[in-house]
Amino acid sequence: MRRTPAARLRFAAIVLLVATFYAASWQLAQVSPSKLWTGLPKMASWARKAWPPATDELPVLLRRAAETVAMAAIGTTAAALLALPVCALAARNVTPSLAVYYPVRWFLNALRGIDSFVFALLFVAAVGLGPFAGVLGVALHTWGSTAKLWAEAIENVPPGPLEAAAATGASRVKVLGFALLPDVAPSMVSVVLFWWEFNVRASTVLGVVGAGGIGQELKNSMDLLDFPRLLTIILIILAMVTVIDHLSQALRGRLE
């Protein structure tokens, strides 16, 4: 089909707008292929210096890795517990009032909009250095994201079972508990497993702001240019994330 002059003009305007956006982004991001080209030999030199990995502090590093997994597990669990009562208020089909729906949605968007890294930075100043600040950072960000995804799962539930349960005279709590929860429980558990897997990866960098875990050892090794120790930490992170990913996938597979 031949396009009208107005359609061609609109298409050209869109192409120009996209091209302008990426040109401005290229400048703002200070993208420099030449710097990358000159920096690659440095990275190759660091890789040669990093071999073989250092194993003299392996028990300490494994404990830090365990701290990272613990931060993600406690933070994700706390987020799920906080999200459970909130998600129903954020779902349009079961919320008691739109006057409740919109403030709850705005609150969850605010939590989602602030990254766990930023929350951890704030809590380091409030509760001090250590993994507890990381737990709080993970919990608050994940709270908003988990509740939003759960609310969307609730909104996708067919209305028939809910209406049938309500017609029997059951209270709102019983309708939610016996008619709604069984339908959305597998999806809710899958979401929690996804965020636990994600938070294990995210928690590896929270140590940069002093929130404990193996990320703190990673930063120390980088500051000291201790490349063998840095390689050991990277290998531990890769192994830890791989195991968590496979475990999470296996658990989600059982829910399908």
For 67-88, the pLDDT digits (tens) are: 888 888 898 999 989 988 888 7
Are residues 160 and 183 in contact, defined by beta-carbon separation less than 8 angstroms? no
User: What number of CA atoms fall less than 13 Å from residue 74's CA on the CB side?
Assistant: 13
pTM of the model: 0.76
Q: Is residue 2 part of a domain?
A: no
Q: Which two tokens stand for residue 5?
A: 């002059």
> Is residue 158 very low, low, confident or very high in pLDDT (cuts 50, 70, 90)?
low
Determine the average pLDDT of the residues in 2-12.
Answer: 77
**More confident of the two residues 218 and 78:** 78
Are 133 and 123 in contact, with CB atoms under 8 Å apart?
yes
Say if 91 falls within a structural domain: yes
Residue 208 has pLDDT above 80, yes or no: no
157, part of any domain? yes
Q: Residue 48 domain-assigned?
A: no
pLDDT exceeds 60 at position 165: no
Give the integer Cα–Cα distance in Å for 203 and 205: 5
In a domain, 89, yes or no: yes
Query: How many helices and strands in the chain, by DSSP H and E?
Result: 11, 0
Q: Are 149 and 191 in contact (CB under 8 A)?
A: yes
Range of the domain at 232: 58-255
* 3-class DSSP string for 228-256: HHHHHHHHHHHHHHHHHHHHHHHHHHHHC
pLDDT more than 70, % of the chain: 86
Looking at residue 218, its pLDDT comes to 80
- In this prediction, residue 206 carries a pLDDT of 79
Domain count, the chain: 1
Residues present in the chain in total: 256
Pick the range with the lowest mean pLDDT from 64-68, 145-149, 156-160, 176-180. 176-180
Of the listed ranges 34-43, 110-119, 143-152, the least confidently predicted one is 34-43
The model's pLDDT over 95-136, given as tens digits with 9 standing for 90+, comes to: 777 788 888 888 888 888 888 888 888 888 888 777 888 888
Residue 205 sits in a domain whose CATH number is 1.10.3720.10
Domain contains 173: yes
